[in-house]
Amino acid sequence: METARKSAQDRLDAMGLPQRRDEYWKYTRPDLLTTETVDAAARLNLDEAPVFDAIDRLKIVFVDGVFDAGASDDLSLGGVEISQLKDAADWADDLYGTLEENGQSPVERPLAALNSAKATQGVVIRATGKVPKPISLIYLRKSDTSDVMLHHVIRVEKGADLTILENGPAAARLNSVMEVDVADNAAFHHVRAMGRDHERRAATHIFGRLGTESTFKSFTMTVNGKLTRNEVVLEINGNDAVAHVAGAAMGDGDFLHDDTVFITHDSLNCESRQVFKKVLRNGATGVFQGKILVKEGAQKTDGYQMSQSLLLDDDSQFYGKPELEIYADDVLCSHGSTTGAIDDEAMFYLQSRGISKVDAQDLLVLAFLAAAIDEIEDEPIADDIRSRLEGWLARRRD
């Protein structure tokens, strides 16, 4: 792994940290993610059960970015091998930094290289069969100035089925990388709820490689946070594979959420789908940069990309940059990006039935986000996410 870290450092040195003038960072200022020192981010005191609390899962807990064995469950479970990054088996040693490196072209992702060069904490997961319950990564915080790097290496072997959950406040500044290698006929599901501390910053990368007839589905919910840059970089290498990436974000005030997605189709008859929804108010900013690249010969590709934002006032902003780049001639690709306000007609209709203005607005906000949440395949997990959003909308008024 030292070799991989060294070569990641070389990559980073060659490309340098992201700068404001970089095209890929046009809408999101990278400085908060790259400063030497980290500003404190106050921790929210929440008197509510954490997300996924009611879901039967295997818990792996990190406190300020360090694995906490005492707080975690016993890591032995059927159909899966779990270890810490420092104890990585040979296969993980080989995979570490590989998908990240593949994802550096055609667009550079220096923060991911930085992570590969420096991270020492994370989990290594190898699913060999149908894993009976989700593996839940929980990121707790005790320090106001925690600066955390996590690097997870995951391989879902042929025919295996794995669900990963992620939640928790994580850090004042989080840099995380997840490399996921999904073998033929394997399925990977990922549901994440980002931390809700108002001043926290996060740059996350998910690098995925998909084999033949494999499935990759990832959903992220973001509520609060000063700055979030979530990059998902997928390479579809096997025929008949399916990749879905979705996100629901809700921001109020000093909030910037950036979804940057790059999906490369390099095989036959594959489907990819991006569904991102953002609700913004009081000057919050949303960014979406999504790309579908269909390589020569990747015939019968079915690519779909939808990014929508709902602006609840005139101060909020949304920047969308949807891109398609297609080198095959028999493909179906569609994309859409919309920005709009709450529908006055619908508001009046709801109010005329006795529903108060705030309740009516909440109903319409949840309705707007519904299409992204519907991308979560597991119903109990999707319901958990839905009820969180309802609760948080209600709580915001107190």
Residue 23 binding another protein, by CB under 8 A = no
In the bound complex, what is the minimum distance in angstroms from residue 357's beta carbon to another protein? Answer: 7
Q: Which is nearer to another protein, 11 or 278 (CB)?
A: 278
Q: Work out whether 379 is an interface residue with another protein (CB under 8 A).
A: no
Question: What crossing angle do the helices spanning 357-373 and 344-352 adopt, rounded to 10°?
Answer: 120
Measured from the CB of residue 336, what is the shortest distance to another protein in angstroms?
Answer: 15
Say whether residue 385 binds another protein (CB under 8 A): no
- Binding letters toward another protein, positions 158-177, x by CB under 8 A: --------------------
Q: Six-digit token pair at 256?
A: 């910037």
Q: How far is residue 326's CA from residue 329's CA, in Å, rounded to a whole number?
A: 8
Number of H helices, E strands in the chain: 8, 19
Q: Rounded to the nearest whole angstrom, what is the least distance from the CB of residue 225 to another protein in the complex?
A: 24
The residue count for binding another protein (CB under 8 A) is 23
Site for another protein contains 371 (CB under 8 A): yes
The secondary element (H helix, E strand) that includes residue 367 is: helix 357-373
Q: Residue 313 Cβ, how far from another protein at the closest point, in Å?
A: 17
Q: Which is nearer to another protein, 179 or 384 (CB)?
A: 384
DSSP-derived 3-state class of residue 54: coil
Give the closest residue to 291 by CA, choosing from 276, 274, 316, 279: 274
| Cα→Cα distances 329→127, 219, 266, 295, 326, Å | 37, 30, 13, 10, 8
H or E element in which residue 338 lies:
strand 332-340
State the nearest-atom distance from the C-beta of 371 to another protein, in Å: 7
Residue from 115, 121, 16, 113 nearest 64 by CA: 121
- Cα dist. 219→136, 165, 334, 350 in Å? 14, 10, 20, 30
Contacts (CB under 8 A) with another protein, residues 331-370? 343-346, 348-357, 359-360, 363-364, 366-368, 370
- Judged by CB, which is closer to another protein: 6, or 395? 395
Q: Tell me the closest approach of the beta carbon of residue 228 to another protein, in angstroms.
A: 24
Nearer CB in complex with another protein: 80/350? 350
Residues that bind another protein (CB under 8 A): 343-346, 348-357, 359-360, 363-364, 366-368, 370-371
